[in-house]
Structure 1
Amino acid sequence: MILFCKTCGNVLKVEEGSSGLQFACNSCPYIFKIARKISSRTYPKLKELDDVLGGSAAWENVDSTEERCPKCTHPRAYFMQIQTRSADEPMTTFYKCCNPQCGHNWRE
């Protein structure tokens, strides 16, 4: 936790005083006595992530191939290739099971 001086605005440091711990300013004589445990938490708001695959609409016009689903062992799967890393790396192949009851997604 960071506190700032009320008079000059500098960061207060924690030091041990005559009556226990206190916040003190290096620039001026301002002192803030610590009477009890001080704590506060601020959780950052996480930004929404974009779907790399383009959402459910991305699977509408894709081809299928003979690739066995690791979940239901269906013999065919839809696939698409996307460049997810740098240009000198190979493309990532994403699969989706053709079985409508399964619909399992995986990648290679």
Structure 2
Amino acid sequence: MEFCPTCGNMLQFELPHMGRAARFFCPTCPYVCYLENRVKIKRKQHLVKKEIEPIFSQDDLKNAPKTEVTCPKCGHGMAAYKTMQTRSADEPETILYACLGDNCRHTWRD
């Protein structure tokens, strides 16, 4: 992405047409930057995945309050829960559950 040095808007790319070279131009001001035919615009950016942090750590499971709710995966009747404000302040909190079944540890939200 290139930006206009005059007004700061993102420049648009225009292909060569009727003998005119390819160019970047600003849609709001008269700035134009012509490109030579030998120039190839090619950038690759490798994306790195972030590690996914678990919702509940082992300490959280031990110390979190528990409630009677049925796990949708295994049907166990107890789960640990915690609440988080994931949206704007005028929206309700999100309740995150973690199943306390022996082999399940499934997490879901409500």
Length-normalised TM-score, structure 2? 0.57
1:105 aligns with 2:95: no
2:108 aligned counterpart, secondary structure: strand
Matches within 5 A, 1:55-66: 56=57, 57-66=59-68
Identity of aligned residues (%): 33
Letter in 1 for 2:74: C
**Would you identify which runs of 4 or more consecutive aligned residues in structure 1 move more than 2 Å?**
11-18, 21-24, 30-34, 38-41, 43-53, 57-60
Matches within 5 A, 1:18-29: 23=22
- In structure 2, stretches of 5+ residues that fail to align are 3-10, 24-33
Match of residue 83 from structure 1: 85
2:16 aligned counterpart, secondary structure: strand
Instruction: List per-residue Cα deviations over 1:40-92 (Å, max 9, x = no partner).
Output: 34125457477484x62443410111000000000100001111111111110
Q: Distance in 2 between matches of 1:15 and 1:90?
A: 53
Compare CA radii of gyration and give the structure with the larger one.
Answer: 1
- In structure 1, stretches of 5+ residues that fail to align are 3-10, 25-29
1:71 aligned counterpart, secondary structure: coil
Match of residue 7 from structure 1: none
Distance 1:14 1:87, change over 3 A: closer
